[in-house]
Amino acid sequence: MKRRQILAGVGAVTGLGVAGVVGWELFAPERSTMVAEAAGPTGMALKRGVFVGKANHRVSGTVTLYEDGEGVALRFEEYEQTQGPDVFVYLTPAPDPDTTSEVDAGVKILVDGGADGGESTKEGTFTQRLPAGVDPSEYMGVSIWCDRFAVPFGAATLTPV
């Protein structure tokens, strides 16, 4: 009888330990990388937006869409966000993107120097080059989006400068 109780106790403790690790992985804040970049793109600022948080998450700072001889770039200034798993930046046709369909219609931007896979973990002031062929006239918003849970962390509506 005591052996069964001991084995049941060990199984319960092991289960709680595994659940705790999984819970920590899903919900613990991840470490962000603070950066301060002095020089930005030298081209023409086309659109600008101010980030607002969504769904009880915090996102702040500004984003500017630039075009220059090298292509198109997003310039993040004084950018901060709530950290989470699988959070990415999307450039979207929707001005205030907060649904899966609005985000899926956009372009996923993999942040250089972000977490593995290009997640949005950088904070501060930095520039992110966009993939070749991006037509800036097609995009009206920037979404900070959690792919794992399909929820918005924040967004910025891009308006002409």
What are the Cα distances from residue 74, in Å, to 18, 32, 42, 68, 152? 40, 19, 12, 11, 19
pLDDT tens for each residue of 46-82: 999 999 999 999 999 999 999 999 999 999 999 999 9
13 and 54 co-located in one domain: no
pLDDT tens for each residue of 4-40: 555 454 455 444 444 444 443 444 444 455 555 546 6
Contact status, residue 88 vs residue 147, Cβ threshold 8 Å? yes
Count structural domains, the chain: 2
26 and 40 co-located in one domain: no
* Full-model pTM: 0.78
83 and 145 co-located in one domain: yes
- Residue 62 tokens read as 């500004």
71 and 139 co-located in one domain: yes
1 and 43 co-located in one domain: no
118 and 152 co-located in one domain: yes
Residue range of the domain that includes 118:
33-160
Q: What is the CATH number of the domain that holds 115?
A: 2.60.40
